[in-house]
Amino acid sequence: MSVAPRPIVTEPYPPRKAVASARSKKHLSKNSPDRRQRSISGKSTKKVEKLPVRSPLNLPIWLRSLLLLQQSSLGVFLFLIAAIFSVYGFTVGTQQLWNKEYKKLKTLQRHERMLTETNETLKNNLAKQAEKSGNGLVPVNPNKSIFLRRFRDNSLKSGNSQSTNSTQTIPIKPPPSAY
């Protein structure tokens, strides 16, 4: 569907002289608005007067208070916008950090489950190997237990060394059974 272009109109309104001649002269009196405001050339002859400038101190109190309210409300509005963006940024940042740490936690929990599973599998395999008869292991019997006395080296406690070339033995403490 094609649309034909509109013709360009260079003069949308008839010239002013044609309008003035078309009107009857009896309707245009000397006091008519057209006659008072316009000269023959068509330009306005009326002068524009400037409004008097009022200083803020000469304004009424109610107007001054409204201006003060407007200025202060602008300041409050800007402060609230800054506070809203700060709170929004804090909540978004906190949520992203929380999501990151939560993913870390889930990964660590998954690894813990895998390690627990591997540990229990190893324990199970050791128990199965201990149950087999051809491995040389003997079941625990309290009657066949061997108890050893504690060895005490008196030379270390007294500080007497028999020779400088002799090696001294330092007793090794067993690791604690639990932390």
pTM score: 0.36
pLDDT digits (tens, 9 = 90+) for 146-166: 888 888 777 666 555 555 555
**Cα(149)–Cα(12) distance, rounded to whole angstroms?**
126
**Cα(95)–Cα(101) distance, rounded to whole angstroms?**
10
pLDDT digits (tens, 9 = 90+) for 49-81: 888 777 767 788 888 899 889 989 999 999 999
The one-letter amino acid code at 26 reads: K
Tokens encoding 41: 């050339």
Q: What is the mean pLDDT of residues 104-121?
A: 97
Contact 37, 44 (CB under 8 A): yes
